[in-house]
Amino acid sequence: METANHILTDLVKKARKGNADAQGSLYHQFSKAMFNICIRMAGNRSDAEDILQEAFIIAFKSLHQLKDEVLFGGWLRRIVINECIKYSKKSFYWQDWDEADYEHRTDDAVEWWQEIDMAIIHQQIKALPDGCRQVFNLYVLEDYSHKQIAENLGISEGTSKSQYSRAKQLLRERITKHIALHG
Amino acid sequence: MDDFKKYMQQHSEDLDVDTPRGKVWLAINQELHPVKPMATVVYIKWAVAACVVALAGFGAYALLTKQPVSNNTGEMVKTLSKPVKSELPEDVTRLQPTTTEQLVASNKSVKSTNSQKQRANQPVTSNQQPVTNITALEQVENSFTQVINLQKAKVNTTPLIAENPGYFNDFAIEMKRMERDEQSIKKDIKKNGLTDELLDQLINVYQQKLNVLKQLQNEIHKTNNRFKQNRGPVDSTKPYFLNI
């Protein structure tokens, strides 16, 4: 772990000085994880690649602001998520959703998600409708609270909760259907 | 935290199944390190090659323009005693020794008079000078052209697997600009004769051409290698080729 941190620190220091090889190494180390955040948030490859590209350019150009090189991964992740949120805000309008109804629409008593291939879940997250897809990702995978989601996306906390509920319900329906069709 | 969220966070790494295409890194790298075709980056290997060719050219030029010099002091004195003053420009005649005593005073002075003799002889052999100049120019031109053509052939036969030829347009534009410069210098040489300054300019253009071609080749290799690293095996059936 210490060696890995030492390598990372060295790469970040070199990348900060504009070393293209070090920047390339950092990109190859982190691009896959960051790209998957982007593609789950954007829902399509083309926009996800644009967001990823922009995020890495911002990161490499702002590396002097990063105080502790070991924290590069988390720092980069925040830049990526901020870029995803920026993209979400300008690319779609929120549709009204029955906020009061969300609590009754899910049934967590049955752990339907157990034993399901994560690749299928990933595919279905990407296919969720705009709005609930972003809320789902921020709440579940980025561990944002509904309050933080509401502040970042410019919606009410209730809308965030209902969108999450809707996303979970849609996921369950679609995955169940997918398994029924394809096994 | 609900159970679903907990489960998803525990298995979040398994969700990362997509991979970005290689063009993303190329675009990032291009943005962070734009290609500067005219940057004065010296590629040592090619700079050395260019210097060798240039030196060979200069050597040939010097040999061909040099007149046979006699070691016979008497003959030399005799030659220098001739009334060449009227044929020489003023600055040359100022250097001309006036007596034979001055000429034979020391070895040093004899050596210096050798060069003076050469100068003194120039007007006499002036009808041969343009011929030797043109020969020297042709030699310099041929030497450089051979190396440039060799480099062009290398570039034109390297397959472009990562980018289409349009990506390298800046290099082609730069080469065309240098072709125009070369033609312009050659016109000046035809008009005014070959001067040291024009010869330097011409050699400089050839060296720049070599530098640009080498940079282009490096850029092609770099993009190809990145593509191979990012994308794995390459479809060799659809490569592009440049026509520089």
Helix/strand/coil (H/E/C) assignment for every residue in A76-99: HHHHHHHHHHHHHHHHCCCCCCCH
Average pLDDT of span B73-88: 43
State whether B14 and A118 contact (CB < 8 Å).
yes
Written as one letter, the residue type at B197 is: E
Q: Does residue B15 sit at the A interface (CB-CB below 8 Å)?
A: yes
Nearest to B16 among A18, A36, A56 (CB): A36
Number of other CB atoms surrounding residue A20 within 10 Å: 14
Higher-confidence residue of A180 and A52: namely A52
Residue-level pLDDT at A21: 93
Q: Which residue of B has its CA nearest to A17?
A: B32
Q: Does residue B86 sit at the A interface (CB-CB below 8 Å)?
A: no
Residue-level pLDDT at A102: 52
Residue-level pLDDT at B233: 58
Residue-level pLDDT at B80: 43
B95-137: per-residue pLDDT in tens? 444 444 444 444 444 444 444 444 444 444 444 455 566 677 7
B240: β partners: B160
Q: Which of A56, A113, A125 should we substitute to test contact with B (largest number of B Cβ atoms within 10 Å)?
A: A56
Lowest pLDDT segment from B17-21, B76-80, B166-170: B76-80
Q: How confident is the model at residue B82 (pLDDT cuts 50, 70, 90)?
A: very low
Number of other CB atoms surrounding residue B57 within 10 Å: 23
Helices (H), B66-168: 73-81, 90-95, 100-104, 107-121, 129-156
Q: Which of B11, B26, B32, B223 should we substitute to test contact with A (largest number of A Cβ atoms within 10 Å)?
A: B32
Q: Across chain A, what does the average pLDDT equal?
A: 89
Residue-level pLDDT at B108: 45
A143-166: per-residue pLDDT in tens? 999 999 999 999 999 999 999 999
Rounded to whole angstroms, the Cα distance separating A130 from A92 reads 7
Q: Which residue of B has its CA nearest to A26?
A: B25
Written as one letter, the residue type at B131 is: V
Q: Which residue of B has its CA nearest to A45?
A: B20
Give every CB contact of residue B219 below 8 A, 6+ residues apart in sequence. B35, B168, B171
Number of other CB atoms surrounding residue A144 within 10 Å: 20
Give every CB contact of residue B186 below 8 A, 6+ residues apart in sequence. B202
Q: Does residue B241 sit at the A interface (CB-CB below 8 Å)?
A: no
Rounded to whole angstroms, the Cα distance separating B10 from B4 reads 10
Q: Which of B16, B21, B36, B226 should we substitute to test contact with A (largest number of A Cβ atoms within 10 Å)?
A: B16
| Contact between B9 and A37 (Cβ < 8 Å) | no
Give every CB contact of residue B33 below 8 A, 6+ residues apart in sequence. A18, A20
Q: How confident is the model at residue B240 (pLDDT cuts 50, 70, 90)?
A: confident
Rounded to whole angstroms, the Cα distance separating A59 from A71 reads 13
Alpha carbon of A145 to those of A99, A138, B35, B235: distances in Å? 17, 8, 44, 47
Task: Find the helix or strand (DSSP H, E) in which B48 lies.
Answer: helix B44-65
Structure tokens at B197: 């300054």
Q: How confident is the model at residue B234 (pLDDT cuts 50, 70, 90)?
A: low
Residue-level pLDDT at B43: 60
State whether A108 and B3 contact (CB < 8 Å).
yes
| Contact between A97 and A167 (Cβ < 8 Å) | no
Written as one letter, the residue type at B15 is: L
Rounded to whole angstroms, the Cα distance separating A76 from A82 reads 10
Nearest to A60 among B23, B27, B32 (CB): B32
DSSP A131: T
Residue-level pLDDT at B120: 43
State whether A141 and B16 contact (CB < 8 Å).
no
The residue written with tokens 């697997």 in the block is B161
Residue-level pLDDT at B177: 83
Nearest to A52 among B12, B13, B20 (CB): B20
User: Helix B196-231 to helix B44-65 angle, to the nearest 10 degrees?
Assistant: 160
pLDDT score of B71 more than 60: no
Alpha carbon of A165 to those of A52, A87, A135, A175: distances in Å? 28, 22, 10, 15
| Contact between A146 and A155 (Cβ < 8 Å) | no
How many residues are there in chain B? 244
State whether A31 and B7 contact (CB < 8 Å).
no
Nearest to A168 among B4, B14, B29 (CB): B4
Rounded to whole angstroms, the Cα distance separating A175 from A44 reads 19
Structure tokens at B13: 């790494």
Rounded to whole angstroms, the Cα distance separating A9 from B184 reads 54
State whether B8 and A108 contact (CB < 8 Å).
no
A74-129: per-residue pLDDT in tens? 999 999 999 999 998 887 766 655 555 555 455 555 778 888 899 999 999 999 99
Q: Please report residues of B whose CB lies closer than 8 A to that of A140.
A: 4-5, 8-9
Q: Please report residues of A whose CB lies closer than 8 A to that of B41.
A: none
State whether A108 and B15 contact (CB < 8 Å).
no
Count A/B contacts: CB-CB distance under 8 Å: 90
